[in-house]
Structure 1
Amino acid sequence: MTGRRRQGFLFIRDILHVVLAIAIIVMVVFAFLAPDKYAIFFPLVFLLFSINCLLDAIKYFKNEEHNKYSFIRAIVMSILFLFMLLMSTIGFLNL
């Protein structure tokens, strides 16, 4: 049962990565085409990227191989998540 649960989590995580990547690309294109009209997209891009970093951090923390680089990657992705979340918050406050 645990293997099925893990496979389900991996599938959902991969689907979320694809959806977030498509959403980020679309928002960035619109934000650069008409920055005044789509100013809200700039902090949203940072927010979506921070969620993407969180998904990667979870992936590296849940890595069953437990090699030393996996933990370092998880820490780096966690720090990047916090930084992007901070950038998103600052962006929303400046609107």
Structure 2
Amino acid sequence: MKDKKDDKILTLHPQGKKGVNISLHKYEQIKNFILKTIKKKGVITFKELSDIAVKKLTVKFDGKVLWYIVTVKLDLEARNLIERIPNSNPQKIKAK
């Protein structure tokens, strides 16, 4: 019997670049974290999101938290679940 942790998802990229195959379990963990954090904050800088993720997830997450945050954030942008605020510096993101 196949373990659910073996399931994969091919991520998308907002600029149409090639995505990567990652664990569906890890994808869902990071996706839920990003969406909950953005919902709580409204608008958040990418740096703040990354800092919170590293602080809260590093101990219990199996993998490089920051790499997964970047990868899943781009996927969520491509799926129109979140968006970058144009011309924001530092980069800010919000829910769509």
Higher helix fraction: Structure 1 or Structure 2? 1
TM (norm. structure 1) is: 0.31
TM (norm. structure 2) is: 0.31
Of the two, which has the highest radius of gyration? 1
